[in-house]
């Protein structure tokens, strides 16, 4: 566990632009909107014959994953390549870190290779913040998920997905369902939704999977699925984080599915035009039934597509913010 200080003291440059992307917490509505709008401009690129733009040509992006995630790694790699960057995927299990090399030593080695951006995924909360604090100037750090703390690019691809299907956030009731306690995605979603002005944010879970004082984040708490889904515009299901559960927090997966799994029957309590989302990977028959996951209200595959666009946006904006900061310091000297 790393100590987490004020992230905006390092993730924004002196002009208020993004130079690292560590968390959605504390970022302005204008900046989150800029990420969405920039990503939206990239979103249809996959349908074009030429899928590349030269925004990061000549730059080197290192995907530094201390925790495995095939989907997140592959979308970051594809996003970097579509921005014309050179990409290095560091296999941590066979790297020097598994032989006792410290995190700082690993960073210094990668910096000596003239890397320009680190995309970091780590099982400890605050790891990306720590790296951003200790990295050399002009190297951008993107948080691809750290412990239970944050997963900002997942949250922003969810915001882009909601925006493209629902438009204005202000009238929306958004229900987040499942393992809130262990979910870094849920925390990042809540911060983003609140900043973007969603009318109501709900969390729905058994009491054993709710963090203490979760209401302080500005959400309404429900332990009954039907009540929590009533009139919801957006339903976001979460994966059960069984690998992070320290004790038996659930009687059984079948019991969880009975009470909190999303079925077409339970979905009837939401608005008729409600949409369904899930950050993946999906546990069918545990969090959601296949008829819903594959049904007409599901935006799950849209989320995957939008993930590439959002990661392109964040990477290009962070690199631009780093360059602006460098120019301002040069002018000051």
Taking the C-alpha atoms of residue 188 and residue 318, their distance in angstroms, rounded to an integer, is 18
- Ligand-binding annotation for 187, yes or no, is no
CB–CB of 231/173 below 8 Å?
Answer: yes
Angle, helices 300-332 vs 152-166, to 10°: value is 120
- Ligand-binding annotation for 121, yes or no, is yes
Taking the C-alpha atoms of residue 119 and residue 77, their distance in angstroms, rounded to an integer, is 10
Query: Which residues, 6 or more positions from 295, have their beta carbon under 8 angstroms from its beta carbon?
Result: 264, 276
- C-alpha distances in angstroms, 28 versus 31, 204, 227? 5, 27, 32
- Ligand-binding annotation for 184, yes or no, is yes
- C-alpha distances in angstroms, 52 versus 4, 57, 157, 202, 312? 36, 10, 20, 39, 11
CB–CB of 207/225 below 8 Å?
Answer: no
- Ligand-binding annotation for 82, yes or no, is no
Rounded to a whole number of angstroms, the distance between the first and last alpha carbons of the chain is 38
Structure tokens at 94: 């066979």
Taking the C-alpha atoms of residue 66 and residue 45, their distance in angstroms, rounded to an integer, is 30
Taking the C-alpha atoms of residue 284 and residue 110, their distance in angstroms, rounded to an integer, is 40
Query: Which residues, 6 or more positions from 48, have their beta carbon under 8 angstroms from its beta carbon?
Result: none
Structure tokens at 288: 């959601």
Taking the C-alpha atoms of residue 79 and residue 82, their distance in angstroms, rounded to an integer, is 5
The DSSP symbol for 136 reads: P
The DSSP symbol for 209 reads: G
- Cα-based torsion angle of the residue sequence 181, 163, 303, 198 in order, rounded to the nearest 10 degrees: 10
Known binding site: residues?
A: 71-72, 99, 121, 151, 154, 184, 239, 280-281
Which residue positions form the known binding site for L-aspartate? Answer: 99, 184, 239
Q: Which residues are annotated as a binding site for carbamoyl phosphate?
A: 71-72, 121, 151, 154, 280-281
């Amino acid at each position: 566990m790393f100590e987490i200080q004020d992230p905006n003291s390092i993730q924004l440059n002196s002009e208020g632009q993004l130079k690292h992307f560590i968390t959605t917490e504390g970022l302005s509505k204008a900046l989150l909107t800029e990420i969405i709008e920039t990503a939206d401009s990239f979103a249809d690129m996959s349908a074009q014959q030429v899928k590349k733009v030269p925004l990061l040509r000549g730059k080197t992006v290192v995907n530094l994953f201390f925790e495995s995630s095939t989907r997140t790694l592959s979308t970051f790699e594809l996003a970097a390549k579509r921005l014309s960057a050179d990409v290095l995927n560091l296999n941590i299990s066979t790297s020097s870190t598994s032989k006792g090399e410290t995190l700082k030593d690993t960073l210094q080695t990668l910096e000596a290779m003239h890397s320009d951006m680190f995309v970091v995924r780590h099982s400890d909360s605050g790891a990306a913040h720590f790296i951003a604090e200790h990295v050399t100037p002009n190297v951008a750090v993107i948080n691809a998920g750290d412990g239970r703390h944050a997963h900002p690019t997942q949250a922003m691809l969810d915001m882009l997905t909601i925006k493209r299907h629902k438009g204005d956030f202000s009238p929306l009731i958004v229900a987040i369902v499942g393992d809130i306690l262990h979910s870094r995605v849920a925390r990042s979603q809540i911060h983003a939704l609140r900043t973007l002005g969603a009318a109501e944010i709900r969390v729905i879970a058994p009491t054993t999977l709710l963090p203490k004082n979760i209401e302080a984040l500005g959400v309404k708490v429900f332990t009954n699925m039907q009540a929590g889904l009533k009139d919801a515009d957006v339903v976001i299901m979460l994966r059960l984080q069984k690998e992070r559960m320290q004790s038996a927090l659930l009687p059984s997966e079948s019991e969880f599915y009975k009470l909190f799994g999303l079925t077409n029957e339970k979905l009837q309590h939401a608005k008729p035009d409600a949409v369904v989302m899930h950050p993946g990977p999906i546990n069918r028959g545990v969090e959601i039934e296949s008829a819903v996951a594959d049904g007409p209200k599901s935006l799950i595959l849209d989320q995957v597509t939008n993930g590439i666009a959002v990661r392109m946006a964040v990477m290009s904006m962070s690199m631009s913010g780093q360059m602006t900061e460098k120019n301002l310091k040069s002018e000051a000297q």
